[in-house]
Structure 1
Amino acid sequence: MKLYYSPGACSLSPHIALLESGLAFEPVLASTKSHKLQDGTDYYGINPLGYVPLLEFDDGTRLREGPAIVQYIADQAPDKKLAPANGTLERYRLQEWLTFIGTEVHKGFSPLFNPATPEEYKTIARDRLVSRLKWVDSRLEGMQFLMGDQFTVADGYLFTVTNWAKPMNIDLSPYPNLLAWRERVAARPAVQAAMKAEGLLK
């Protein structure tokens, strides 16, 4: 398998999932700025949408979209318990979290990254994002991870997108449960390894 990624982008989430799973894979750097691979290949020829992540199987089949990719990875290594079993209510709870993170938190950051976004809209977007982070903080009270005592791919995804808070000047200090959870996730060997591989940790 190949994982097409860009350092610090949302592709860090499947990068963490792959390292947690123990599955063999090849990371392939795909710049989200130049849309070129390191050998000069046009990334649009691999993913016409131009963004990461993208998972390519050995037969050339490709899977896009982080929440789908991380569930696929989890299902290839069921013993790691990165996702509850398909068909269970707990699996739908995981999908509930992945959808919330994708639509309410991940996409909540998008206007802040775009230099063309008017400042007044950035203020609105930031306020909405902060309200979502406040809600997540309330859900993490008394919890080790989003789903309870077990780390799942939803934790890897939320960790990835909340990494963007500092560069976007969003203060997480009002959210002690979220901060404590981030410390627990950051300490995991697979998370450390993914961050180092992407040049995000010395």
Structure 2
Amino acid sequence: MKLYYAPGACSLAVHIVLHETGLPFTLERIDLSKHETEQATDFYQINPKGAVPVLELADGTRMTEGPIICHYLCDLAGRPDLMPEAGDMARYRVMEWQNYITSELHKTAGALFNPALEAEARKQFANAAVKKFALVSPQLRGKSYLTGEAFTAADAYLFVIVSWAPYLKLDLSGCSELQAFMQRVGERPAVQAALNAEGLLG
């Protein structure tokens, strides 16, 4: 398998899950400013959406959309701790969080990477993002991860989106549970491996 990624982008969540599962894979870095692969191939030819992640399977099949890729990988690896089995309510709780992270946290915070965003719009998106992170923080009270004591694919996704906060100058000082979560997840060997491979440590 090959993961097309951009350092620190949402593809990092898939990268973390790949390390958590132990499945063999290779990486290909994408320059999103040029939408080119490392070999200067037009990335739109690989993914017409122009976005990472893309997972390419051995037979050439390609998958997009991070949460769905993570579902596939966890099922392939037989890791119900990362993604509980179909029919188990625990699976739908993980999916519930993935959907919230995608539709609310990712989209709101991600908008702030747009350099063309006007000052007033930037302020509104920043305020909205902080409020949404503040809603998530107390949900971690009394437990290690979003759905309990087991680290899941949803936690990998949340870790990545929250990691953007310093670069986006979002003040999460009032989110103590979320800060503890980031410290806890950041120490996981799989997370360290993914961060190191993407040049994000140090």
What's the TM-score bracket when you normalise by the shorter of the two chains?
over 0.9
Q: Could you tell me how far apart the structure 2 residues matched to 1:14 and 1:201 are?
A: 18
- Range 16-25 or range 43-52, more displaced: 43-52
User: 2:172 aligns to what?
Assistant: 172
CA positional deviation for 1:187: 0.2
Q: Could you tell me how far apart the structure 1 residues matched to 2:98 and 2:7 are?
A: 21
Query: How many residue pairs align between the two structures?
Result: 202
User: 2:22 aligns to what?
Assistant: 22
Q: Could you tell me how far apart the structure 2 residues matched to 1:110 and 1:116 are?
A: 13
Cα RMSD of the aligned pairs, angstroms, is: 1.0
Kindly, what percent of the aligned residue pairs are identical?
46
**Pairwise mapping of residues 12-161 of structure 1 onto structure 2 (< 5 A)?**
12-79=12-79, 81-161=81-161
CA positional deviation for 1:78: 2.1
CA positional deviation for 1:184: 0.5
Unaligned runs of 5+ residues in structure 2 are none
Q: Could you tell me how far apart the structure 2 residues matched to 1:139 and 1:22 are?
A: 29
- Native 8 Å contact 2:6 2:30 kept in 1: yes
Name the TM-score, length of structure 2 as normaliser. Answer: 0.97
Q: Could you tell me how far apart the structure 2 residues matched to 1:198 and 1:80 are?
A: 27
Q: Structure 1 runs of 4+ off > 6 angstroms?
A: none
Unaligned runs of 5+ residues in structure 1 are none
Name the TM-score, length of structure 1 as normaliser. Answer: 0.97
CA positional deviation for 1:103: 0.8
- Secondary structure of the 2:36 match is coil
- Native 8 Å contact 2:134 2:172 kept in 1: no
Q: Could you tell me how far apart the structure 2 residues matched to 1:110 and 1:119 are?
A: 15
- Range 10-19 or range 85-94, more displaced: 85-94
Deviations 1:171-192 (A, max 9, x none): 1211110000110000000000
CA positional deviation for 1:131: 1.2
- Secondary structure of the 1:59 match is coil
Q: Could you tell me how far apart the structure 2 residues matched to 1:141 and 1:102 are?
A: 22
- Secondary structure of the 2:63 match is strand
